[in-house]
Structure 1
């Protein structure tokens, strides 16, 4: 799946399942509307925004993982979304996503540091 396909899926869920505007979703995620627009239009976003979206869907009881299925189906997503996750499970998922986000952020910082060192070494 590429960025464009993910954006189409996100837009379908936002408008058809959540019944929200881009601005409303942005407010829920703590970001500005243009970031949601960029993601929906396949122009990219940040890994942090992706984690926020996944965490938000889980908090609301939606199967965020299914957005990444090869054969994503909005009708199946709608059907599954009516079964809310127990709060304890949703909280654990949120904690796990927070840990994963921290790990990936640290990995990205380390990668950038290594790239900087390699550039200095070449000079």
Structure 2
């Protein structure tokens, strides 16, 4: 049954990632990979909220499998982040590559911490 929760979450997360990435990127005339950046930061926020909810006893292990492993596993993408950063560096836009690395790590960690803090405020 656990595998079905993960698959179902991934079935939701993968198209959500693709559609979000394409929608965000089409609205920015920039080399910066805004679509990937957005899905990764949103995924960090969701995982932070879920982590706080699980810690407070407000979310079950089934929800954790569906949301964290399935949905967020398919929504977020470290491989695309790495590929896009490498492509930026190889294309001579090292500033964008460095900005992508820095902004992704800082915003991702910030979103995760914010999610945990929000969950504590809600379920404490």
Q: What TM-score do the two structures reach when normalised by structure 1?
A: 0.33
Q: Which has the higher contact order (CA 8 A, sep 6+)?
A: 2
Q: With structure 2 as the length reference, what TM-score do the two structures score? A: 0.32
Tell me which protein shows more helix as a share of its residues. 2
Q: Larger radius of gyration, structure 1 or 2? A: 1
